[in-house]
Amino acid sequence: MVTWYLPKIRPENHEAFRQIISAYPADTYDNWVYLQADEIAEIVGVGDQRVVLVEVRTDEFTRHCDLVGCRRDFDALRDFAYTKGKRDAY
């Protein structure tokens, strides 16, 4: 089974992520939830795949980007969720 680790953004952190991530995909938290639910449905619809939502806070994400020297974009957010999820799984 393939495991996908996706970022879980809490409602109170949504606006902060919108401010720090270039080309953030959702203008409202409700839109974020809708887009993520759609993505999850596509992933699990393929079969033999599961999704784990990994809570990501803005402070830990920005610290990570500063430490590794990456841009604060959506790809970096997804990569961070994957790394954190894999680490926490063991």
What is residue 42's predicted lDDT score, i.e. its pLDDT? Answer: 94
Residue 90 has pLDDT above 80, yes or no: no
Q: How far apart are CA 89 and CA 35, in angstroms?
A: 25
Q: How far apart are CA 7 and CA 75, in angstroms?
A: 11
Cβ neighbour number for residue 22 with a 10 Å cutoff: 9
How many residues would you count in the chain?
Answer: 90
Report pLDDT digits (tens) over 58-76. 999 999 999 999 999 999 9
What is residue 47's predicted lDDT score, i.e. its pLDDT? Answer: 87
Report pLDDT digits (tens) over 27-46. 999 999 999 999 999 999 98
Residue 16 has pLDDT above 70, yes or no: yes
Q: How far apart are CA 27 and CA 87, in angstroms?
A: 30
Cβ neighbour number for residue 44 with a 10 Å cutoff: 13
What is residue 3's predicted lDDT score, i.e. its pLDDT? Answer: 95
